[in-house]
Amino acid sequence: MIVKVDKLVYGGKGLGKLDETVCFVPFVLPDEEVEVVLKKKKKSYVECEPVSIIKSSPFRTDPPCKYFGYCGGCDYQHIVYDKQIEIKAYILLETVNRIGKLNLESLDGIYPSEKVFNYRNRTQLKIRGEKIGFYKRESRQIINIDRCELLKEDINGVLSGVRQLLKFLIFQPEQVHVYSSFSGDILVKLVYPRRIKRFPLGLKHLKAFLSDRLKGAGIYHTKGDMLKRNLLLGEKYVYETYEDIKFRVSIDSFFQVNTYQLENLLRTVLDNIDGYKKAVDLFCGVGTLTLPVARYGEKIYGIESNPYAVSDAEYNKKINRLKNVEFLKMDANRSGDFIARLRPDLVVLDPSRNGISKELIKTFSQTESIEKIIYVSCNPSTLARDLGYLKDRFSVEKLYMIDMFPQTYHIESVAVLQKMK
């Protein structure tokens, strides 16, 4: 069976037709002709696997990773990077126009990543027996890897060390989480399926196995969807910087995965702020956006549900000597009443890929004081949905794409919304 690929869609797959039925195929490019085999048949479409490329795109390249196509981490390694950017920009614009029913003609800025490999500062390694790696594509099987081309090289070094470490542990963890700051300081989580009372090694021994830049290691167990820390060895913080702003990031907090793109993200947000009296930053984390934005107005409130991130944010406010910032531990998706009482003129938000709640949509639409919304998104589909809900009250003045995740289908964007007069 031969399929001609019309375009790539969000999720990384190519779209074509097979006997007038919509067909999705991974690891292809627009205008390619591909021999496929049927994998799944749905009511309105089929999913296929490529067997061979009959007509190849000039933008196809050889993937540098030997696990590409099996590991579920990458989607676009077969595409030259400039074409990846073009495809993502098209998908972002098409998605917000189609789902949000908007009529945007173009993006206002596109920012490729300085590094297209070895950029990720964080990973979660899965462990099962002698296998250490990531889940196989569309599976819970673990692909056993010796390195990942997306990870910073120091994290690949930790991966190698984990293999040696496991030989000395009676009880194996089921996951190892690694975070490496821009300067190379490392935090590690060893995650067990149940609570363990003792850990046989100290920080000195873990450094010998994993990295001499290891600052701290936490021993955790899973409890439902949560991780509970049982023991901490060493420090629980590392530090990141943006210009002259310093951020403490704890072992249980989050920071941007691609710190090489942090400047483009923050600059895009800041360039669209022309002063404010009261602002709120929702899903604020350790204050990554809150603290730089604080310098552009009178008062800003950061809202975050993760208590460890709030603690970091409070500390970051103090070390950066910013007195016009207040952080609140609160579920941002349920902060509608607070926002209505606060009456901000600026809203900044960076939600998860699920987007924002109906409560927030309603609050934004009904709060007369809100003049501008700056919406940072990692999912064009939920961004488009939310923009569609808000379009009767706010116009989308600008839309930017910042490629935080090269070699993957993920798309980071910034939408600037202005209250309509």
- For residues 85, 91, 94, 96, the Cα torsion angle rounded to the nearest 10 degrees is -100
Q: How is residue 400 written in tokens?
A: 């930017």
Active site (catalytic) residues = 378
Q: How is residue 203 written in tokens?
A: 């920080």
- Listed in order, strand segments (DSSP E) in 193-242 are 214-223, 226-234, 237-242
The 10 Å CB-count burial string (b at 16+, else e) for 363-388 is bbeebeebebbbbbbbbbbbbbbbbb
Q: Please tell me the distance from the alpha carbon of residue 285 to that of residue 372, in angstroms, as a whole number.
A: 21
Class of domain 89-114+258-419: alpha beta
Q: Judge whether 2-60 and 122-238 match in fold.
A: yes
Do residues 65 and 149 make contact, with C-beta atoms less than 8 angstroms apart? yes
For the domain bounded by 122-238, which CATH number is listed? 2.40.50.1070
Question: For position 421, what pLDDT does the model report?
Answer: 83
Pick the CATH number of 2-60 from 1.10.4080.10, 3.90.1150.10, 2.40.50.100, 2.40.50.140: 2.40.50.140
- For residues 178, 227, 190, 181, the Cα torsion angle rounded to the nearest 10 degrees is 20
- Would you kindly state where each structural domain of the chain is located, as residue ranges? 2-60, 89-114+258-419, 122-238
Return per-residue pLDDT of the chain as tens, 421 residues: 899 999 999 999 999 998 889 999 999 999 999 999 999 998 899 999 999 999 999 999 999 999 999 999 999 999 999 999 999 999 999 999 999 999 999 999 999 999 999 999 999 999 998 899 999 998 999 999 999 999 999 999 999 999 999 988 989 999 999 999 999 999 999 999 999 888 999 999 999 999 999 999 999 999 888 999 999 999 999 999 999 999 999 999 999 999 999 999 999 999 999 999 999 999 999 999 999 999 999 999 999 999 999 999 999 999 999 999 999 999 999 999 999 999 999 999 999 999 999 999 999 999 999 999 999 999 999 999 999 999 999 999 999 999 999 999 999 999 999 999 8
Q: How is residue 124 written in tokens?
A: 């979660």
Q: What is the DSSP string of 360-375?
A: HHHHHHH-TT--EEEE
Question: For position 43, what pLDDT does the model report?
Answer: 87
Q: Please tell me the distance from the alpha carbon of residue 268 to that of residue 283, in angstroms, as a whole number.
A: 18
